Amino acid sequence: MKIRSCISTAVALVALLIGSGSGHASEPESPLEKGMSDTLDTWRDGRYEQLFDQLAHRGKTSREVFVKKMRESTTRPACCWQKMENFKILNEKRTEATVYAKVGLEGTPSAAESVTREFKLTHQEGVWKMQLADVFAIAGVTGKKSGSKRHSKNHSPYQK
């Protein structure tokens, strides 16, 4: 009788663990993971104006410059389970956090299909936001102005 009870309990426990494991892969567990996942979805969908609003801004990058640079980039987050893997919270404070994740990529000019690194998140307006600089880095663009002006410092023949 005790053996049947032990076996039933073990089977129920295994079923519970398997059930909770499948939910873990599809649903973010923390507000940090959800914030980052939502940002990557917005980026993947090409909604760059909305993406700009979802980011913690650093520097003087305007919405227009951001949208232009993101449209020029062919890199975007992968879909579904490849979008973000191995998410770990390394450090969390009230308004800042450092997380570690593997972000799957599509359309990269190099052979890299993912980037695995630390990301800084900032808590603003009640949500966790990725840094604009991190999105630019993953997309393979810089925050500097594009074009020939990048390499010159007022060396125009029309200026004195």
Are 91 and 97 in contact, with CB atoms under 8 Å apart?
Answer: yes
Whether 16 is covered by a domain: the verdict is no
DSSP labels, 33-96: HHHHHHHHHHHHTT-HHHHHHHSBP-TT--HHHHHHHHHH---EEPPGGGSEEEEEEEEE-SSE
Of 89, 143, 78, the C-alpha closest to 112 is 78
Q: How confident is the model at residue 137 (pLDDT cuts 50, 70, 90)?
A: very high
152 Cβ neighbours under 8 A, 6+ residues apart: none
The tally of domains found in the chain comes to: 1
Q: How confident is the model at residue 1 (pLDDT cuts 50, 70, 90)?
A: low
Arithmetic mean of pLDDT over the chain: 80
Of 142, 154, 137, 140, the C-alpha closest to 65 is 142
Whether 119 is covered by a domain: the verdict is yes
Whether 23 is covered by a domain: the verdict is no
Give SS3 for 137: helix
Q: pLDDT > 70: what percent of the chain?
A: 70
Whether 4 is covered by a domain: the verdict is no
pLDDT greater than 50 at residue 150: no
Are 39 and 77 in contact, with CB atoms under 8 Å apart?
Answer: no
Bigger pLDDT: 14 or 101? 101
pLDDT greater than 70 at residue 63: yes
Whether 60 is covered by a domain: the verdict is yes
* Owning domain of residue 65: 30-144
CATH number, domain containing residue 61: 3.10.450.100
Q: How confident is the model at residue 145 (pLDDT cuts 50, 70, 90)?
A: low
Task: Determine the pLDDT at residue 153.
Answer: 39
Whether 135 is covered by a domain: the verdict is yes
Per residue in 87-134, pLDDT (tens digit) is 999 999 999 999 999 999 998 877 779 999 999 999 999 999 999 999
